[in-house]
Structure 1
């Protein structure tokens, strides 16, 4: 059982770090650029702020193991929209003009895995919200 929890913790930490860095990059690179990109996709510009904040705060939460299921659902939604709205036309590996959606699918799979797995003893959630079974 501890091997499974360790593997889930590795996935949680990697996914959290990946999204945290992407959220941070959106703010450091000028969130206005991301707002413009979202507008060009036909998405409301304010959703760039929503996505960047989910990535930044959610990534930090996953690193700590707080709200893993909720955050992972949000990340899965972000990856689905990114895949269908941005990357699908480029194909699995990309088309030479942009990246493919292989990484998006890998991140989506990790997020779904964290949604369906049990709470890990290696997460802060387990310490803060102990179940009756513990």
Structure 2
């Protein structure tokens, strides 16, 4: 019984919380003003248009994860985004960062959750399950 609960709720909880985190980060970019985010990205050597790509992907993808729609696709997208963030911005600061510069420990954690969701797919509590009527890999 406890294993059935774990296999239903843990993947769902991971998916929903990951979605909330990305949604919050995307909303934050819009609140800062995408022009400001574009300038910030450019100052770090990241093409400015990526600010728009990241903000939209985080908001739309976050919502999609929260409801469990195209979980594997969104998880793969977030893996790519986080690897990009680590390689272009965070890697030089190291895992834990230094002084006032954050490291890449958060991005690494988000990648690992995304890898889990990519590998396992949506939990039974998801729109994916309703639409595609597939049994989840985790049951």
TM-score (norm 2): 0.89
Which region of structure 1 is more displaced relative to structure 2, 50-59 or 114-123? 114-123
Does the 8 Å contact 2:11/2:122 carry over to 1? no
Equivalences for residues 8-47 of structure 1 within 5 A: 8-47=11-50
* Residue 126 of structure 1: aligned partner: 129
Q: RMSD between aligned alpha carbons?
A: 1.5
| CA–CA separation in structure 1 for the residues paired with 2:133 and 2:13 | 21
Q: Tell me the TM-score normalized by structure 1.
A: 0.93
How far apart in 1 are the matches of 2:103 and 2:26?
20
Deviation at 1:2, TM superposition (A): 4.0
2 CA distance for matches of 1:43 and 1:100? 17
Decide which moves more: 41-50 or 81-90: 41-50
1:75 aligned partner: 78
**Unpaired runs of at least 5, structure 1:** none
Match of 1:89 in 2: 92
Deviations 1:80-126 (A, max 9, x none): 01111111111111101211111110001001110000432111110
Corresponding residue for 1:6?
9
Q: What SS does the corresponding residue of 1:45 show, helix, strand or coil? A: coil
